[in-house]
Structure 1
Amino acid sequence: MDQRIINLFDEYTHKPLKRDDFLKRLAKLTGSMGAALTVLPLLEINYAHAETISGQDDRLITERVTYPGGEGSMKGYLARPKANGKYGSVVVIHENRGLNPHIEDVTRRLALAGFLALAPDALSPFGGTPTEEAQVRELFGKLDTQKNLANFTKSLDYLKARSDSNGKVGSVGFCWGGAMSNQLAVNYPDLKAAVAYYGRQPDAAQVPQIKAAVMLHYGGLDERVNAGIPAYEEALKKAKIPYELYVYEGAQHAFNNDTAPTRYSEVAAKQAWERTTKFFKEKVG
């Protein structure tokens, strides 16, 4: 697909670009509104294909949980191996689409790899993630940055204190969640490992606060996010923070999301996931 189309969709999903304006610009790129509407399903998320590990998998225990946030309660989806034990624990942070079937599946993937995994719903202050995409976009625009950060640090507190946790916690986030994983690295001293998939980088001045080991995954074609790599890497080196940084050539932003057909890269996603689970086993397992 024309890279200009994918870049336009990236702009639409990350900036306050109205749907009508997006469709008009898409029509110019494709030649007509009819062609634009034909291309649109190839760009949009399709949760019909979200489940790679069944929510009823008998190797796992899954549950909906509610726990204290910074102000009020947080909702989340939790998964762990079925056998009793104390597991290395990981917060899974969704994209700017809220807690959805894809992220729940990613949470089960981590559980199957041997971890206690919790996916918080950032939109819990508004009652949780709605099913209508336009509502999700609107609510994300209303999130208070500091209160949201507090909710995620409380999510780590909750996970670390559970009886089935070994007390070691990490974070992994995607896109919006990747930026949050970076922020948790800066703001949560007890974090052992932070993994960010194509997430916005923290300010270089904040990097010396990081106590965790960091792993960063980027798509080679993701110009918007990748612009922040050099400053972040320089700051990590200067502060002597242990880190691993991978750029997957030819991969798009959101390359891990297998419900996004035009951006998903099976090769990059598999390689990044193998690196991620190995990293967590070393740092929190």
Structure 2
Amino acid sequence: MKKLQKEDIKQEVFDLYDDYAHNKLQRREFVEKLSAYAVGGITVTSLLSFMMPNYKNTFLVASDNPRLNSDYITYSSPKGGGEIKGLLSMPRAIESKLPGLVVVHENRGLNPYIEDTARRAALDGFITLAPDALSPLGGYPGNDDDGRAMQRKRDRNEMLQDFIAAFEYLKAHEGCSGKIGVVGFCFGGWISNMMAVKVPDLSAAVPFYGGQPTENIDQINAPLMLQFAGLDERVNGGWPAFEEALKKHGKDYIAYTYPDVNHGFHNTSTPRYDKDAAELAWKRTMDFFKENLI
């Protein structure tokens, strides 16, 4: 049987996966709808396997990278979920205080891709904290399907408080300069936008394909870099109104849309990943943080 390649997959399959990943389709419905695309030697089983996250061979930074100190910590989130676990990473060789970054996961808890992203940012000279909003429910369960189901049990505004508490943790960290940004993906993109609204002394925010705030946009102080996927109609539909509000209130922002890529294009673990767009978006992100936090 021919090994599937990204080029073999119709865009409608990616759209179905997006609906599934964002709880618009149950797994059974997703599998049923995939059957329409199981043609020409492609089976439903092979399609399903191809679309699911693969964390085995997709890390960009090893968990035991010798240049990093990276370990789990627990911090207090009294307005959110109570005690929150997170991955704290920083360069092993530190000559002076470093800026901080809160790295916010998608709608499925602190999975290996987000941990990898947090380590990657730490190698660029930041102290990063990647919280797990599933901590009050026992933490990321080891697979994204169960993680999504668990995250639906939590109130998203309480989870927002967990990430604001992570900001406060970094602010008080002895190795942190006090300048702190946030980067988040999908649900984490919404968190990043909302932290820009809610945290007056946030120094910068980079939401990747995140839902947009609709209120109190005048309260944003942090410069924003917004990253969008060209094929992501669901998220992109809210951008014109948000941009209009940012312009109205004279906010500092820059937005990039990457053509012909899907929501989740930065996530190395699924076939939605687009290497060229992901690397460009990440370089822009790191340059933006260095400009605003250092």
**Is the shorter-chain TM-score for this pair beyond 0.5, marking a shared fold?**
yes
What runs of 5+ residues in structure 2 fail to find an aligned partner? 1-8
For 2:262, the equivalent position in structure 1 comes to 252
Structure 1 residue corresponding to 2:204, chosen from 186, 189, 193? 193
Matched-pair contact (CA < 8 Å) for 1:27–1:33: no
The residue number in structure 1 matching 2:232 is 222
Q: Which residue of 2 aligns with 1:76?
A: 86
Q: Distance in 2 between matches of 1:48 and 1:191?
A: 34
Which residue number corresponds to residue 210 of structure 1?
Answer: 220
Aligned equivalents of 2:221 and 2:57: distance in 1? 37
Contiguous gaps of at least 5 residues in structure 1: none
1:273 has 2:282 as partner: yes
Mean CA deviation greater in 20-29 or 152-161: 20-29
Counterpart contact for 2:59–2:268, Cα < 8 Å? no
Residue type of the alignment partner of 2:255: L
* 1:108-257 correspondence to structure 2 within 5 Å: 108-203=119-214, 205-257=215-267
- State the distance in 2 between where 1:135 and 1:59 align: 33
User: Shift in Å at residue 28 of structure 1?
Assistant: 2.2
Distance in 2 (alpha carbons) for counterparts of 1:184 and 1:282 = 19
The 3-state SS of whatever aligns with 1:109 is: helix
Aligned length: 283
Q: CA deviation at 1:58?
A: 1.4
Equivalents in 2 of 1:125, 1:260: separation in Å?
27
Could you report, residue by residue, the CA deviation over 1:106-128 in whole angstroms, capped at 9, with x for unpaired residues?
11110111111110001111121
Residue of structure 1 in register with 2:6 after alignment: none
Structure 1 residue matching 2:56: 3-state secondary structure: helix
Contact 1:24 1:33 in 2 (8 A): no
Check conservation: 2:111, 2:144, Cα contact below 8 A. no
TM-score (norm 2): 0.93
TM-score normalized with structure 1 length = 0.95
Deviation at 1:31, TM superposition (A): 4.7
SS at match of 2:189: helix
Partners in 1 of 2:148 and 2:64 — Cα distance?
30
**Matching of residue 48 in structure 1 with residue 56 in structure 2:** yes
Evaluate the alpha carbon distance shift between residue 272 and residue 34 of structure 1 in structure 2; reply closer, same or farther with a 3 A threshold.
Answer: closer
Query: What is the SS of the residue equivalent to 1:200?
Result: coil
Partner of 2:291: 282
